[in-house]
Chains A and B, each alone.
Chain A
Amino acid sequence: MPPLLKILIMRLGLGVLTLLLVSLVVFAATQALPGDAAKAILGKDSADTERYEALRKQLRLDRPLVEQYTNWLGGVVRGDLGRSLVGAGANVTDLIGARVVNSAILVLLAALVSIPISILLGALSAIWRDSKFDNAVNMTNLSLASLPEFVIGILLVLVFATAVFKWLPSVSNVNSLLPLAGQMKLFVLPVITLALAVIPYVSRMLRASTVEVLESEYVMMARLKGVSEPRVLWHHALPNAIVPTIQVIAINIAWLAGGIVTVEYLFTFPGVGAGLVDAVANRDMPVVQALVLLMAAIYVLLNLMADIFTILISPRLRTGLR
């Protein structure tokens, strides 16, 4: 078996184990929280014990905990994520399907916008180290990194949607019943907000590693050989500088997948983040489990991909496998 495949299989196995543990922790956590779905649904009305007990029975919350968990797990293994405990008890897959698609598009767009910009800014800052450009980028990055993304989002709404200009929609309530193509305008502000949250980390990381590489002996050697400066940068320095950055990018995309909660809430974007907040408030265990597992799976997969990618593009690791 090729060594890379072996690593892949081992890591995937570990990933599945991780997900199982996550599901156990989430289940335990939802049980540890005070109240249950019936109470969360009824609120004050749970004082009406007749209705409360009827609802508990209907939701099968009166069953033993182990039975509840194994029932759910058995369903997941068969590919059935179960039914939501609230509302009309819709199939979880149907319930979160549109949200997953919406969030995936949002994360993808944010990654597509932020990663090239980050690489460009990081590389240019490294080349023009300590120039006015570098200082300006640094200052901006530091200020952006110190602002929580919901503050950035609110400022963007004020400037571009409500108080100053009315160029862009202030809320991004994407309608999954309509084609997405006509609704791309709704993505603009959330994507910018997320991009502004990611760019500082990635570009600073890339700047630091590029600076290090540019001072290394093999770059000096290349320069002494008379290789042109763009070629030194793009062919010799960046491919090596980008290795540590890949991990940062992976973590940031994973953060995007899980950390869009506040941004989705702010823009009323119907994605997994907003869905998760609502499901937790409702103690809707099957939906919480599905969404948390999805986010955890993305985390595991992205980290795995980053590791594989790192091995493939760094010569030392690649040859070490043989």
Chain B
Amino acid sequence: MSDKGSGSQPGYLTRNMTRRDLLKGAAAVVVGATFGPMIAGCGGSETTTTTAGGVGAVKMGGHLRVAAGAGSAKEDLNIHGPALTPPSMAMRFNMYDSLLEFDHAGVLGVALAEMLDPNADGTQFTVRLKSDLVFHDGSAVNADAVVYSFNRILDPDNPGLAAKQLRGLTPNGIVKVDDLTVRFELEVANAIFPEALSAYSAGIVPVGYDPKAGDGAIGTGPFMLAKPGDFQPGIQAVLVKNPNYWRRDGGPYVDQLSIIEFADTTAQLNALLGGAADYCQMIAGAQREIATGAGFSLLEAKTGSWIPFTMNCMAKPFDDVRVRQAFRLIVDRPEMIAQAADGLQWVGNDMYAPFDAGYPADLPQREQDLEKAKSLLKEAGQEDLTIKLTTSTSVSSGAPAAATVFAQQAKGAGVTVQVDEVTGDVFWGDEYLKYPFAMDNWGTRGYLAQAGFGSLPGAIYNETHYGEISPKYVSLVEEAFGTVDDAKRNELIKEAATLEHEEGGYIVYGFDMQVDAHAANVQGAMPDFSGLASAAGGSRYRLVSLA
């Protein structure tokens, strides 16, 4: 299933090309023998995309209406805070830009930055902005804005989402060099600092930025709010084309972009079927046939998002590595994907970050082996094991189904799994990160960024606690963070990932496919590797036009 639809998809969706290209791009920035700067149109790549027909063939104007699910009044447009819902993420992607950016193919390149120049040991990164850029309100994008933006992210009273990723950066390390140049001086080497600069939550905003709902939500993106009231949390945002948009490769093509919010996925699809929307983000597996049957087109993207089973290496019975290994052998992955995800996933191998250049793609695919699982459990003295598996639809709509499939498959190894489905508040409550056996939901990330969030001791989302029982693993990851040499770092990543594959606490049975549906006249939507909010280029609708 992992190859599903790949014949018609661009080549970057194949694992081998993607992250290697990305890291090659990043290599020019961060590491490598030459360690040269990243310059637009030269060493690095400007993240540009061209539509199939070329600019001349694209029809300008019109109103693109995008239906987005799981909307709620809790969302806002503060780019430095977490985007709490898919619709608010779609709005942000279209309103803001960061210094760097991954393009839809997973290649890291410059965005608002014209050049990124790292020093030899990965502790200093100098960024020069493109000249003559302006924000939505007409003010200049300059070094002051960059300094303000990163100080705002690092604010100790209200830290931004990107703060943890900007490892090694403190407010003292943000230095204005001249009107267009800023130097980031890190306290520790951070080989993936450019990746952190590309995060959507590291968006560049004007000095004094502090939006209240739609009021003051000012960025540099292709679309903007004409007036604050056009953003109604939980209901919709109506954005208009930014007349001063800085990219010269085409777009935005439509005059108006509405992100319409739905609480219910059926209503969301009905909006498309009934003609109230042109584009429907993230439909469920079973909805694909309804959409195609009614004459709509699908956009499928193979992403690095994953919904693992998490075994707590510090809790019984998973403190015994043989139990962890047995549980990984219980899973019939293709069967689970077919039953629990309507086929909307591709097979995983108990490791995350499949697009990372260090990903050990050559390790043999783990498959179900109930006999071996039984014997491992017997060795561990855990025959006839009964265990609770905590899950929630708030982890992922398909998580409870996957848990049920796991429970069925576990019977074959003599293990009784009691699926405990709870609401989101309970799941993320006091027991989260303490469950012996649970599930979680992660987006697409590079290996080190992910390990920093989930696997290192002290990580915010430390579910498996693997780092706490494996000093060897921790030292490998720490060393990789400080290793600016591309090849060497990738070797370290490969070793760390292999260790997790052998004895870690994640069961990574699959990665998500993201599917959007749209009307036939919607053109220029590109599948994206990130899987953020939408299958289409991080829901960037700059290059989408209405024929």
Contact = CB atoms under 8 A, between A and B. Distances in A.
Interface of A: 33-35, 39-48, 50-51, 54, 58, 84, 86-90, 95, 154, 157, 161-163, 166, 169-171, 173, 175-177, 265-268, 270, 274-275, 277-279, 281-284, 287
22 contacts: A34-B426, A39-B425, A40-B74, A44-B428, A46-B428, A51-B159, A54-B158, A84-B73, A86-B73, A88-B211, A89-B212, A95-B73, A166-B275, A169-B276, A171-B267, A173-B236, A176-B232, A268-B261, A268-B263, A278-B73, A278-B263, A282-B74
A175 B236 CA distance: 9
Contacts of A50: 159
B267 A87 contact: no
A43 B84 contact: yes
Interface in B333-388: none
Given A44-B461, A278-B73, A35 B425 contact: yes
B246 interface: no
Q: Tell me whether chain B's interface is mostly helix, strand or loop, or mixed.
A: loop
A90 B213 contact: yes
A33 B161 CA distance: 27
Nearest to B233: A87
A264 to B, nearest CB: 9
Given A87-B75, A282-B73, A284-B74, A169 B274 contact: yes
B273 interface: yes
Interface in B202-217: 211-213, 215
Contacts, number: 134
Contacts of B262: 171, 268
A265 B263 contact: yes
Contacts of B236: 173, 175
Contacts of A266: 264, 266-267
Interface in B45-80: 72-76
A284 B275 CA distance: 33
B157 interface: yes
Contacts of A46: 428
Nearest to B161: A45
A57 B249 CA distance: 46
B168 interface: no
Contacts of A90: 213
The 7 closest A-B pairs by CB, nearest first: A170-B274, A35-B425, A86-B74, A88-B213, A170-B270, A162-B273, A171-B271
Given A161-B274, A278-B72, A41 B84 contact: yes
Given A44-B461, A45-B82, A87-B213, A162 B426 contact: no
A154 B270 CA distance: 10
A35 B72 CA distance: 18
B424 interface: yes
Contact of B72 (A161, A162, A163, A282): A282
A173 B213 contact: no
Interface in B261-299: 261-264, 266-268, 270-271, 273-276, 294
B230 A177 contact: yes
Given A35-B425, A39-B429, A281 B276 contact: no
A270 B262 CA distance: 10
The listed residue with most A CB atoms (<10 A of its CB), out of B161, B260, B428, is B428
B396 to A, nearest CB: 11
A47 B433 contact: yes
Contacts of B274: 157, 161-162, 166, 169-171
B229 interface: yes
Contact of A88 (B233, B267, B440): B233
A263 to B, nearest CB: 11
A146 B458 CA distance: 55
A43 B394 contact: yes
A304 B273 CA distance: 45
A170 B264 CA distance: 13
